[in-house]
């Protein structure tokens, strides 16, 4: 198979020499551009822009926007002069779409991010939103509805309980009775309190 390689030389062009493609379908919002700029400021400019001989951008619109935000005057570029107009348009789409097709190994990613967190590295530079990082770093064995070990275990009743069936407790404006909530006698005792208004009724069944 004959494979056309892009030029090996990286050139540095004045940023005003570049022309964004007017019909670029990939959107770059302010938040993303700010994240790209932060990444470039920390890691350096690691991926050159792809341009035609005429200066039209083929790939790297977000990086150029970030460079403008950073106040940079020059941009590293690779000229893709071997592409015709249709190939340029196709490559713009492919360059963005192909990066979306890969999946993460969640276990390895979690370990890597946890390691960076332990090293006190700024995780905002990774490109993930805060809620994504929180979900990623959550213990995979404990879902949102997971119950901690022993949480639902019912303890044995004490030998000498503080409250026994029939006890009525006054809690400020509220009343609490120890008894069987299905018993009419218990409910009547709770509600038959003269001179007071019962604002909250809490009924509990005695230990069986």
> What pLDDT is attached to residue 165?
85
pLDDT band at 196 (very low <50, low <70, confident <90, very high): very low
Partnered with residue 178 across adjacent β-strands are 204
Higher-confidence position of 83 and 175: 83
Instruction: Please give the sequence-ordered ranges of beta strands (E in DSSP) within the chain, or none if there are none.
Output: 11-14, 49-51, 57-59, 74-79, 168-171, 174-178, 201-204
Task: List pLDDT tens digits, range 114-158.
Answer: 999 999 999 999 999 999 999 999 877 655 555 556 666 777 777
> What pLDDT is attached to residue 148?
56
Selection from 20, 171, 11, 187 nearest residue 179 by Cα: 187
CATH of domain 11-98: 3.90.1530.10
Mean pLDDT of the chain: 84
Task: List pLDDT tens digits, range 157-173.
Answer: 777 878 888 888 887 77
What whole-number distance in Å separates Cα of residue 90 and Cα of residue 21?
A: 13
Place of tokens 């097709």: 101
Sequence spans of domains, the chain: 11-98, 168-204
Residues of the chain above pLDDT 90, percent: 57
Contact (Cβ atoms closer than 8 angstroms) between residue 175 and residue 167: no
Query: Is residue 105's pLDDT more than 90?
Result: yes
Contacts of 40 (CB under 8 A, 6+ apart): 63, 66, 67, 70
Write the CA distances from 122 to 39, 60, 119, 125, integer angstroms.
11, 24, 9, 6
């Amino acid at each position: 198979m004959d494979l056309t390689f892009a030029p090996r030389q990286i050139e540095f062009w004045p940023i005003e020499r570049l022309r964004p493609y007017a019909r670029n379908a990939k959107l770059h919002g302010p938040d993303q551009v700010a994240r790209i700029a932060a990444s470039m400021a920390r890691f350096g400019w690691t991926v050159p822009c792809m341009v035609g001989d005429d200066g039209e951008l083929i790939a790297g619109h977000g990086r150029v926007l970030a460079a403008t935000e950073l106040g940079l005057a020059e941009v590293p570029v690779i000229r893709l002069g071997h592409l015709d107009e249709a190939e340029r348009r196709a490559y713009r789409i492919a360059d963005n779409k192909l990066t979306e097709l890969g999946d993460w190994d969640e276990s390895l990613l979690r370990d890597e991010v946890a390691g960076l967190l332990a090293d006190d590295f700024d995780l905002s530079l990774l490109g993930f939103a805060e809620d994504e990082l929180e979900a990623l770093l959550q213990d995979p064995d404990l879902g949102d509805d997971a119950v901690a070990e022993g949480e639902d275990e019912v303890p044995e009743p004490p030998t000498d309980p503080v409250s026994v069936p029939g006890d009525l407790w006054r809690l400020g404006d509220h009343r609490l009775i120890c008894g069987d909530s299905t018993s009419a006698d218990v409910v009547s005792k709770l509600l038959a309190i003269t001179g007071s208004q019962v604002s909250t009724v809490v009924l509990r069944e005695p230990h069986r």
